[in-house]
């Protein structure tokens, strides 16, 4: 059994195109095992070289020169060259994302010039300083030049990760060790059999019966049903309510602060999530680089909330329309109804609208059709991306809902011009984090934890990551 593939029973086993943007950890895990970016995040979420040996950034922050590993190969034995990176960048720009979102990274790469200055050297010319550009590179798996865009029936592209796709078998994706990857961990050589088992009870049974070495997506409230070791780690996905800052009662900061004070998030976590989440303080999780670890979450203080509402002149006549999807997050309807009850308890009025079409809901949020308050999530691991895509009035991105604070955008611009100074950027991000906490453009809810069931074969050999990715490189040898 030692040389048999490691068996994973997961909630999903969708084999996505590597450039399809998703925040679903199980799908990201399949991509991460078969493909490598130039830079990658380690288990502590730090950016480290992967296909690159290193990079240099010019004094103005506009030119990145990246050197490639001389021994890097795709699974078909082809050496990885600068031309592959150039072609990958163009393909990545065109790729779509979850819920039909086109060109997720296009705004970062549209006017970027990528060229091969040598077989093993790539030059990237930015039109303007771009803070944390390494985060974009880490999201871009490299594929061979000539790989066509995603299309029905397209064979899975060739990657350079520790595993290579062997076959799809009985609801499972089977990867074998990739002999072309010299840095692959010995544990990865046995391969991986990733099987879709949508029902949690069936996953738990597979672990108990010795048919799986690892099961994913263990509900916190169901951990006692796992016959094996349960591993748990804080996550990075932020569950929030957007406030409509274009019009309506949420344009008053006192109302937004009052709602943050008047919603008992700990009680919701205990009742609906089995305690398996951590309170959110600001726009990113405590695991994000740039979060302020000393800033406390809003406390549950309904008396203070009522005082703020009285100052704002909000009362029974103030009606809040709350919107939520029926899935992703699955507790969306429960959140909407709990918030409505909370608002009524504060002397306000509320209605709830549930959207059963999740892709349609995402497009409605993008089109700013959120009522007064809407459930959403925030998944980028980059503080800069969250600020730029969701909070900046200067960029007014897809997910921006009207937040407009000149001091915030000035700080974001300062972070861009400090692209070569991590210490300076971190200090700026912490100031922005404090500013967003105080302005409360969102109702800051929680960060779900990742829970896994582990059988005897992996006990003591694997530790979960905060981003939820299962990476064969990080499984210790038996």
Q: Residue ranges of the domains in the chain? A: 1-13+161-234+449-478, 36-154, 238-448
Torsion angle in degrees (nearest 10) through CA of 424, 430, 432, 434: -150
Reduce the secondary structure of 424-450 to three states and give it as a string: HHHHHHHHHHHHHHHHCCEEEEEEECE
Of the ranges 13-27, 110-124, 348-362, 393-407, which one carries the lowest mean pLDDT score?
13-27
Residue 300 has pLDDT above 80, yes or no: yes
Residue 74 has pLDDT above 70, yes or no: yes
String of b and e for 2-33 (b: at least 16 CB within 10 Å)? eeebbbbbbbbbeebbbbbbbbbbbbbbbbbb
pLDDT digits (tens, 9 = 90+) for 171-216: 788 888 877 665 555 556 688 999 999 999 999 999 999 999 999 9
pLDDT digits (tens, 9 = 90+) for 265-299: 999 999 999 999 999 999 999 999 999 999 999 99
Position 96 scores a pLDDT of 80
Q: Is the peptide bond before 351 cis (omega within 30 degrees of 0)?
A: no
Cα 78 to its chain centre, rounded Å, is 31
Position 134 scores a pLDDT of 93
Position 182 scores a pLDDT of 58
When pLDDT is averaged across residues 107-121 and rounded to a whole number, the result is 95
Residue 153 has pLDDT above 60, yes or no: no
CATH 3.40.50.2300 fits 1-13+161-234+449-478, yes or no: no
Please give the share of the chain, as a percent, with pLDDT higher than 70: 96
Return the half-sphere exposure (C-beta side, CA atoms, 13 A cut-off) of residue 222.
17
Most confidently predicted of 65-74, 92-101, 103-112? 65-74
CATH number for the domain running over 238-448: 3.10.105.10
Kindly state the greatest CA–CA separation across the chain: 69
Residue 30 has pLDDT above 70, yes or no: yes
What pTM was computed for the model?
0.94
Torsion angle in degrees (nearest 10) through CA of 265, 269, 271, 272: 120
Of the ranges 99-108, 149-158, 186-195, 271-280, which one carries the lowest mean pLDDT score?
149-158
Residue 170 has pLDDT above 80, yes or no: no
CATH number for the domain running over 36-154: 3.90.76.10
Position 183 scores a pLDDT of 52
Of the ranges 73-77, 309-313, 425-429, which one carries the lowest mean pLDDT score?
73-77
CA–CA gap between residue 437 and residue 10 (Å, rounded): 36
Q: How would residue 2 be classed by pLDDT, with cut points 50, 70 and 90?
A: low
When pLDDT is averaged across residues 466-471 and rounded to a whole number, the result is 95
CA–CA gap between residue 138 and residue 48 (Å, rounded): 9
Order the strands of the 277-279 sheet from edge to edge. Answer: 277-279, 442-448, 238-243, 373-378, 319-325, 349-355
- Tell me the backbone φ, ψ of residue 445, rounded to 5 degrees: -100, -85
Position 95 scores a pLDDT of 84
Sign of the alpha-carbon torsion through 326, 329, 330, 335: negative
Position 341 scores a pLDDT of 98
Residue 474 has pLDDT above 70, yes or no: yes
Q: Are 92 and 105 in contact (CB under 8 A)?
A: yes
* Residue among 235, 253, 186 at smallest CA distance from 441: 253
Mean pLDDT rounded to a whole number for the chain = 93
Position 361 scores a pLDDT of 96
Cα 178 to its chain centre, rounded Å, is 27
Paired tokens of 354 = 């549930």
Torsion angle in degrees (nearest 10) through CA of 413, 416, 417, 421: 130
């Amino acid at each position: 059994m030692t040389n048999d593939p490691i068996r994973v029973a997961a909630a999903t086993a969708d084999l996505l195109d590597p450039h399809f943007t998703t925040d679903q950890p199980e799908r990201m895990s399949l991509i991460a095992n078969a493909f490598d970016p130039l830079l990658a995040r380690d288990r502590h979420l730090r950016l480290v070289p992967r296909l690159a040996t290193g990079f240099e950034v010019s004094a103005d922050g506009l030119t990145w020169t990246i050197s490639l590993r001389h021994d890097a190969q795709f699974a078909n034995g082809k050496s990885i060259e600068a031309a592959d990176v150039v072609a990958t960048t163009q393909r990545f720009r065109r790729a779509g994302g979850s819920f039909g979102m086109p060109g997720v990274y296009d705004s970062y790469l549209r006017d970027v010039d990528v060229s091969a200055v040598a077989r093993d050297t790539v030059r990237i010319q930015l039109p303007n300083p771009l803070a944390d550009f390494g985060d974009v590179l880490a999201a871009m798996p490299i594929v061979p030049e000539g790989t066509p865009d995603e299309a029905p029936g397209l064979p899975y592209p060739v990657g350079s990760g520790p595993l290579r796709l062997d076959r799809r078998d009985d609801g499972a994706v089977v990867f074998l060790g990739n002999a072309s990857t010299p840095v692959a961990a010995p544990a990865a050589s046995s391969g991986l059999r990733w099987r879709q088992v949508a029902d949690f009870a069936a996953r738990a049974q597979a672990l108990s019966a010795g048919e799986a070495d690892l099961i994913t997506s263990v509900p916190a409230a169901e951990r006692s049903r796992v016959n094996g070791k349960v591993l748990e780690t804080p996550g990075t996905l932020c569950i929030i309510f957007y406030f409509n800052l274009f019009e309506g009662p949420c344009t008053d900061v006192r109302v937004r602060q009052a709602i943050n004070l008047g919603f008992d998030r700990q009680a919701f976590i205990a009742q609906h999530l089995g305690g398996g989440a951590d309170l959110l303080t600001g726009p990113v999780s405590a695991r994000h680089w740039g979060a302020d670890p000393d800033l406390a979450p809003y406390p549950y203080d309904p008396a203070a909330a009522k005082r703020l509402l009285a100052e704002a002149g909000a009362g029974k006549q103030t009606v809040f329309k709350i919107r939520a999807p029926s899935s992703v997050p699955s507790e969306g309807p429960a959140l909407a109804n709990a918030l409505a009850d909370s608002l009524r308890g504060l002397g306000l009025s509320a209605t709830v609208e549930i959207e059963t079409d999740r892709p349609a809901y995402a497009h409605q949020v993008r089109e700013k059709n959120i009522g007064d308050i809407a459930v959403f999530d925030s998944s980028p691991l980059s503080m800069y991306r969250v600020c730029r895509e969701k909070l900046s009035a200067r960029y007014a991105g897809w997910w921006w809902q009207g937040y407009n604070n000149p001091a915030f955008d000035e700080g974001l611009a300062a972070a861009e011009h400090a692209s070569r100074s991590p210490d300076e950027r971190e200090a700026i991000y912490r100031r922005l984090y404090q500013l967003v906490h105080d302005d409360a453009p969102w109702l800051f809810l929680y960060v779900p934890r990742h829970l896994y069931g582990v059988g005897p074969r992996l006990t003591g050999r694997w530790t979960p990551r905060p981003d939820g990715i299962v990476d064969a490189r990080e499984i210790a040898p038996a």
